[in-house]
Chains A and B, each alone.
Chain A
Amino acid sequence: QWDEPRVCSRRYLKVDFADIGWNEWIISPKSFDAYYCAGACEFPMPKIVRPSNHATIQSIVRAVGIIPGIPEPCCVPDKMNSLGVLFLDENRNVVLKVYPNMSVETCACR
């Protein structure tokens, strides 16, 4: 991770359901690429971090420093993808559910 860019961006994260103890009832997938967002949202923010208007204003106010204690905007998921999960419910019936927002496509400053 050390050579990761400083600026807000998507970082790789593979989630293995066995690591979180859900593999006893999840049939498929066994693991999936979830990713996560990390990095700075400091003024001036490059276009790539796709700041919202509010984030831009907040980062300027923080840079100007007149009002103390204003944090920089947060690096959060912007576009996300769904994941289909095949699992056993409490009655051990097989269920397929498509959960939204399970993996990160892009990150942004908010």
Chain B
Amino acid sequence: SHMAPARSSSPEASENLLGHKDPPHSQGNTASAPEAQDMLSVHMLRLYEKYSRRGARPGGGNTVRSFRARLEMIDQKAMYFFNLTSMQDSEMILTATFHFYSEPWWPRAREAPCKQRAKNASCRLLPPGLPTRQHLVFHSLSQNTATHGLLRGAMALTPPPKGLWQAKDISPIVKAARRDGELLLSAQLESGEKDPEVSRPNHQAPYILIYANDLAISEPNSVAVTLQRYDPFQAGDTEPGAAPNSSVDPRVRRATQATGPLQDNELPGLDERPAHTSHTQHYHKHELWPSPFRALKPRVGRKDRRKKGQDVFLASSQVLNFDEQTMQKARRK
């Protein structure tokens, strides 16, 4: 058993851990740290500091995995579920411990048959008996079964003298469950009476620590297996080097050929040319442009236009047509 501060914590305690607020040092049971952190986070930070300072291998291995409980009320009983699926196949379990907070509690005090001898005699209650003994019961179930699962173990708990955190070795239970591929574990603190668990705040939720030796950690690039979470090729979900499939590619592919009428610099009406004479004549601009403003003609396809445009350009360079006043100004300038 280890004395631990009863801390109120938000389930996002891991976020606090990531927030890097140094965990308040536990000053024993009564300290309630202003900054909430659950016991699991405090415990894991302590293991990390122990290793970082003294190089003490946690539990003799190179890996410690923690598993938070998920509380469910089944038949008015508090059931804690642990999802152990994140364990890697290369991790050999050395030890598994179940950590839970418990405090002594007595069954409801019974009332003695109360005989009114004197008016003011108050009814006496029997002194409470011994605190209730609790039992810890474990079941394991595979992901998809809805049953209670297979009974994996049960242990009687001696009532603690006062509220404190306790640890139980559940290595055989976890090893057997993993061997059978049942990586969902349920734990129940049974006491036969109405469950006080419901009132238990979640910072006192139990947790499991698994100390393991990761046989793959000496691989040259073991850090990438667990810590490199992104991959340049993962983004498009395509095989490296494969051209992105157009149906997958979210980008809009643009046609190279212009489909609609383009706004170009060609002036309207250029398409019209007087009938082609046997030899190329130099069109004088008046012949070409009988009036300064021309009605817009319906446009022909770009290819024809380009062909025609090219011929006309071949024939003579076009002079823009301006009214007399503009021309006079231009000459003056």
User: Which positions in A face B, CB cutoff 8 Å?
Assistant: 21-22, 24-30, 82, 84-100, 102
Contact = CB atoms under 8 A, between A and B. Distances in A.
Nearest to A85: B227
Contacts of A93: 65-68, 86
Nearest to B48: A86
Interface of B: 14, 17-18, 20, 40-41, 44-45, 47-48, 51-52, 55, 57-58, 62-68, 83, 85-86, 214, 217-218, 222-223, 226-230
B94 to A, nearest CB: 13
A97 B226 contact: yes
Contact of B18 (A24, A84, A99): A24
22 contacts: A21-B230, A24-B18, A25-B18, A25-B227, A27-B20, A87-B226, A88-B18, A89-B86, A90-B86, A93-B67, A93-B86, A94-B66, A96-B44, A96-B47, A96-B51, A97-B62, A97-B217, A97-B226, A98-B57, A98-B63, A99-B217, A102-B223
Shortest 7 CB-CB contacts between residues of A and residues of B: A84-B51, A96-B64, A98-B62, A86-B48, A94-B44, A27-B17, A94-B66
A94 B85 contact: no
Nearest to B227: A22
B227 A100 contact: no
Contacts of A25: 18, 227, 229
DSSP majority for the B interface? mixed
Nearest to A22: B227
Nearest to B208: A93
A26 B223 CA distance: 12
DSSP majority for the A interface? strand
B264 to A, nearest CB: 48
Contacts of A28: 20, 45, 48, 52
B17 A94 contact: yes
A4 B74 CA distance: 67
In this complex, the member of B51, B66, B68, B227 whose beta carbon has the largest number of chain A beta carbons within 10 angstroms is B227
Nearest to B218: A100
Given A91-B86, A94-B17, A86 B218 contact: no
Given A28-B45, A84-B48, A89-B86, A94 B14 contact: yes
A82 B58 CA distance: 13
Nearest to A32: B52
A95 B64 CA distance: 6
A71 B217 CA distance: 32
In this complex, the member of A24, A27, A91, A92 whose beta carbon has the largest number of chain B beta carbons within 10 angstroms is A27
Nearest to A87: B227
A97 B218 contact: no
Contacts of A99: 62, 217, 222-223
A100 B222 CA distance: 9
In this complex, the member of A84, A85, A91, A100 whose beta carbon has the largest number of chain B beta carbons within 10 angstroms is A84
Contacts of B51: 84, 96, 98
A96 B48 contact: yes
Contacts of B62: 97-100
Given A84-B52, A102-B223, A96 B63 contact: yes
B83 A91 contact: yes
Given A94-B44, A98-B57, A102-B223, 14 more contacts: A24-B18, A25-B227, A28-B20, A84-B51, A85-B227, A86-B17, A86-B45, A86-B48, A87-B227, A91-B85, A95-B66, A95-B86, A96-B48, A99-B223
